[in-house]
Structure 1
Amino acid sequence: MPPPYLTAPTSSDPRPALSLFAQAPSFLSSQTSSWWSSLPYPLSLFLNTESQEKWASYENLFLACLRTGDHETAYACLESLTDRFGKTNDHVLALQGLYQEATAQNTEELEEVMKAYDEVLKDDPTIFSVRKRRAALLRSVGKSAEAIADLTVLVDASPTDAEAWAELADLHLSQGNCEQAFYCLEEVLLVMPHAWNMHARLGEVVYMSAQKMDGGDQMKALAESMRRFCRSIELCDGYLRGYYGLRLTTGRLLEVLQGAKKGQLTASDSLAGDLAPPSIGTVKKLNELATSKLAEIVRRGTAGEKGWDGYSEAELKAARELIDSDTQKIQR
Structure 2
Amino acid sequence: MAVLVTGGAGYIGSHTVAALLERGEEIVVVDNMQQGHPQAVLGGKLYEGDLRDEAFLNQVFEENEIDAVIHFAANSLVGESMQQPGKYYHNNVYGTLCLLEQMNKHGVRRIVFSSTAATYGEPEQVPIREEDRTLPTNAYGETKLAMEKMMRWFDVAHGIKFVSLRYFNAAGAHAGGRIGEDHRPETHLIPIVLQAALGQRPHISLFGDDYDTPDGSCVRDYIHVSDLADAHVLAVQRLRGGADSAVYNLGNGRGFSVKEVVELAREVTGCEIPVRVEARRAGDPAVLVAASERARSELGWQPARAGLREIIASAWAWHQARPHGYEDERV
* TM-score range normalised by the length of the shorter chain: under 0.3
TM-score after normalising by structure 2? 0.25
Determine which structure has the larger strand proportion and give its number.
2
Greater gyration radius: 1
Determine which structure has the larger helix proportion and give its number.
1
